[in-house]
Amino acid sequence: MNERIAKLYDQATILEGKRKMFINPNPDCQDDCSFVESLKVTTLVHYPPVYDKHGNNTNPDRNWTSYSVSCHKCNTTWNVKTNGDFTEINKV
């Protein structure tokens, strides 16, 4: 995981007793940013866990989730694509 993505994950918050991962695409912004996430689109394939004799899951979830994050203060939008292990953020 590169340093920028690690910094984004450090900003994850816990809301309403549930773990909610919010990735701030612009952590260095000098403005008081306010973000809105679009509806999330996910590849919905069931990956049943398969464990080896050491208890390691050899069939992890490989679904991808895609969505957009917009900041109304900066008037900027980012596309986000993630599968839990990898996150790609691109400024639109």
pLDDT tens digit string along 16-47? 344 445 677 777 777 777 888 888 898 988 88
63-89 tens-digit pLDDT:
899 999 998 888 889 998 988 678 888
Identify the sign of the CA torsion 32, 73, 3, 7.
Answer: positive
Question: Quick check: is 12 in a domain?
Answer: no
Q: CA-to-CA distance for 35 and 39, rounded, in angstroms?
A: 13
Does 7 reside within a domain? no
Domain contains 74: yes
Looking at the structure of the chain, the number of domains it has is 1
Q: 20: closest CA among 33, 32, 35, 31?
A: 35
In a domain, 13, yes or no: no
Name residue, tokens 């957009």: 68
The Cα 61–Cα 50 span in angstroms is: 11
Q: Are strands 65-71 and 87-91 parallel, antiparallel or unpaired?
A: unpaired
State which residues form the domain around 65: 28-91
The answer to whether residue 10 is domain-embedded is no
